[in-house]
Amino acid sequence: MATDTFTWAARINSSEQLNVSTNQAQFGDGYKQISSNGINMAAETWSLTCNGVAADMGPLRVFLREHVISSFWWVNPWGEKKLYRVKSDSVNSKFINGGFVEITFTFEQAFAP
């Protein structure tokens, strides 16, 4: 099965959090030993927002719901094409006025399709 691609335009106020997993040992003389924790030790999390009329945001909402357990391709603001999944409790829709909707959500980097 082909891996989907996220194609909606996110607003410019996207923010990234980079989580680096390490093993650390602090010694009494002040020396600290740090090593990587696995081959995929750095993982990105992106907080994003899209907005528009409800008719355009409906398909986005469906995409987000379907990609909590299924990864997809996305080109992040750094221009890097990577695999991501939607964080399970992160999708929030807000109806601003009439049929205008703002959807906020979080992508977590994935390492397998």
**pLDDT at site 11:** 82
User: What whole-number distance in Å separates Cα of residue 80 and Cα of residue 73?
Assistant: 10
Tens of pLDDT, residues 33-90: 888 787 888 899 999 999 999 999 999 999 999 999 999 999 999 999 999 999 999 9
Q: How far apart are the first and last CA of the chain?
A: 10
Burial (CB count within 10 angstroms: exposed 0-12, middle 13-18, buried 19+), residue 2: exposed
In this prediction the pTM is 0.85
Instruction: Decide: 19 and 38 in contact? Cβ < 8 Å.
Output: no
Hey, where are the domains in the chain? Answer: 15-109
Token pair recorded at residue 41: 């030790």
